[in-house]
A and B are shown apart, each in its own frame.
Chain A
């Protein structure tokens, strides 16, 4: 009873039992077969990984199991001058496998299941999708790759910090001046207050404009007429008089714009389907 190995195995068995019990309790309203199914899929994959011998060749599994054995037998018996042949890492690894430690170690189990999933994904990647397949995937999932609407604006800023209570009146007055004087956007910034961003901005999406000015700003400029001074539009910093150069609505992506993303999405979809198919065959073959 003094053997650390026995203690380890007893504690491990207790923890596994407790874990399963806690898992069931935590999902008390889920039906029995659903809980059993989820747990057994991981078990099936682990068993498959072991059957394929992945546990015998993974250097990280080896390191962990050697460490587990060193812990069980005690460092004084497995390292240093007192250690014999049986303490050689290869021997410790062999003994750990013989004891079935790879089945008890949660990290090893997770690692091997992960390896198996990665192997399957590598196989899917190897079947590089063709141009036609990528185009078809894009056609079937246009919303996932849609290019967002953009607005291209120039803006003249009036600072709340500088103008204080006169901000609203200043903004309305300047708007009249810009409209009456037909001031082009490239010369209008001179009439406003300094701001730590450009007066002429490139086409930006709603999210990008939100990041600069705040969300309310985007809703306001969407109501503006193009190629005319509009506003004042409020931002987090003050008021802006805005010249809307162009608004482009959302549009479907061209494959050239999103090729990598489409390829990855297709690989992901195929990997999931392939894994489910393999799990189905493993379930059938399981005792």
Chain B
């Protein structure tokens, strides 16, 4: 026994290492004018408690295999472990990030955390000094002839090391999925979700790391209760760690934040300083505008917006509590929406000279099934988290609660499909989101963009040369120019024979500005026809009417005033199509005029809140106009 202890005491204690270097082959295909890459930056696996309690067994590695186009089984599972449902993407994603909740990914050893009870116990003191001896002492109750340490290794280190943390597994899965060859077919990002809340309102954010250099442990809500504390802790453990680590933070589900996500106050509770505003914009350059749990672009409401398209995929409460406790349910808060935050950001800029809400837009799913990019309306298997459980059996009727939806996609304009290039696109906000379809959208603005840009073969070259792309700030206005010109071009989703892409109906430009201290907004129809008569035959979910394969428009703001700060973003709208719920109701033969056809779980098909027809869409990141002193 003594010899064994001595051997363990003086033996090697190997480090657990991953290949964290960013060495890679240069991508064979590099496009200086940038390509559109489609991905999902919000994915949960079995390492998220709310996913695993719903029966999710898919690991990060499984999720990445799915993202790359492999079929994947999902719950429920039969007694032999065979999944009873499966899913496969029609087209693989270009990138993805696993973002499990940080609160379950962190340090697991009480003996290493001075804040935890037991840390000062004698056994922990021994553990910190002689870990291997401590392992034996901790397990002195063991008995029996069988091998006691098969799981933990002969000296127990694998049951003591932080290697038990799922965080290591997430990193390893990302490394295995990242294509470092010249083919550059797929990019994985290491990430996690910071699951913050206040008064039960959602303040969740995803943290995405630029490379394999990441903190030893993710900063969770346990360590940082406010967003500014999260950034501070990440600066310490990442940016200033000397490892080449970098990160950005993406808020989501502001629709469930009760107006708290885009607060007007700074860290100290009072008004933000310019530095604090710049810090926020720098750390949070993007917002997830749509996902399973609804759309957060804008609210169609007297207190919100008169824009009817804002009724798209709205959850009917101001916070998630409203879903579970009906008497606490309140209607959505107007300050919870991204367009309002963009407008508030202009006001802040006027007040302190910096805009805290100068963020770009993208979308993702928030899948809790471990199935990134599964956004097809025709094959929605459910959110896998807070909605209908599928742990024990396939859900009866609809696969999930009516208010959820299949989610959207993040799209990045980048030179190549590599971490560096995609992360840079996120940082400069050259990004957009779609509600699911693979719509391609370009958006440029400039003071001297050619008016005939849509007729030219060098649309993109001119866009960059004579203007700025989505996510950017217009340069200073030349004196001789009266108003900026905007160019937007969108291609419909090319689709597949099984799932044809929807035709485009129109492209709008949404303008928000500040005038005499008040925020204003207006929607401009740029190209296409909102009254093209397109519709859906609800008896078959067949689209009806004409639309466009692509739309291109050049537009100059007729209401531009040089002294008004403003933002502009493009919204590409498809023709009407059947929502996922309408497709399921149709497939199951529901006829709301014949109650006998409304089987178990299908009553929502005929509920007042059911909107069977939607218009899928894409939202570009905004382009900002900032008046100079000369303009005021």
Chain A interface (Cβ < 8 Å from any Cβ of B): 22-23, 26-27, 30, 34-35, 38, 48, 51-54, 56-60, 62, 88-90, 93, 106-107, 110-111, 114-116, 118-123, 125-126, 147, 159-161, 189-190, 194-199, 202-205, 207, 210-216, 235-238, 256-261, 263-265, 267-268, 278, 281-282, 284-285
Contacts and interface: CB of A to CB of B under 8 A. Distances in A.
Contact size range, B:
35 or more
Going nearest first, the 8 A-B pairs with the smallest beta carbon separation are A264-B176, A90-B117, A236-B494, A214-B494, A257-B181, A202-B29, A122-B163, A119-B158
B497 A216 contact: yes
A23 B392 contact: yes
B159 A119 contact: yes
A159 B61 CA distance: 42
A282 B393 CA distance: 29
B175 A196 contact: no
A111 B147 CA distance: 23
B431 interface: no
A216 to B, nearest CB: 7
Chain A interface, >50% SS class = helix
Contacts of A259: 180
Contacts of A88: 117
Contacts of A204: 29
B460 interface: yes
A255 B93 CA distance: 23
B455 interface: yes
Contact of B108 (A51, A57, A147, A264): A57
Contact of B549 (A62, A190, A237): A237
17 contacts: A52-B139, A57-B109, A58-B110, A60-B104, A114-B52, A118-B163, A122-B158, A194-B456, A196-B440, A196-B491, A197-B440, A236-B492, A236-B493, A237-B494, A260-B180, A264-B176, A285-B146
Contact of B151 (A119, A212, A235): A119
B61 A264 contact: yes
Nearest to A212: B494
A27 B394 CA distance: 12
A176 B63 CA distance: 48
B478 interface: no
Contact of B81 (A38, A90, A281, A284): A38
Contacts of B111: 57
A123 B117 contact: no
A118 B166 contact: yes
Given A196-B550, A260-B19, A203 B29 contact: yes
Nearest to A35: B79
Contacts of A159: 549-550
A20 to B, nearest CB: 11
B139 A51 contact: yes
A194 B455 contact: yes
A101 to B, nearest CB: 16
B459 interface: yes
B92 interface: yes
Interface of B: 14, 16, 19, 25, 28-29, 31, 33, 38, 46-47, 49, 52-53, 61, 69, 76, 78-81, 91-92, 103-104, 106-111, 113, 116-118, 138-139, 141-142, 144-148, 150-153, 158-161, 163-166, 168-169, 172-173, 175-183, 185, 392-393, 438, 440, 442, 454-457, 459-460, 489-497, 501, 548-550, 552
A118 B164 contact: yes
A175 to B, nearest CB: 19
Most A CB within 10 A of own CB, among B31, B110, B182 = B110
Contacts of B495: 214, 236
B496 A215 contact: yes
Contact of B107 (A30, A56, A59, A256): A59
Contacts of A197: 440, 491
B159 A54 contact: yes
A285 B61 contact: no
Given A52-B159, A126-B153, A196-B550, 10 more contacts: A23-B79, A59-B116, A93-B117, A116-B151, A123-B158, A194-B454, A194-B456, A194-B552, A216-B497, A235-B494
B147 A125 contact: no
Contacts of A147: 183
Contacts of B91: 207, 210-211
Contacts of B144: 285
A256 B183 CA distance: 12
A86 to B, nearest CB: 13
Given A52-B139, A120-B158, A210-B496, A62 B80 contact: no
A130 B493 CA distance: 45
A200 B117 CA distance: 65
A93 B119 CA distance: 13
Contacts of B146: 281-282, 284-285
Contacts of B501: 214, 236
Contacts of A35: 79
Contacts of A263: 176
B52 A214 contact: no
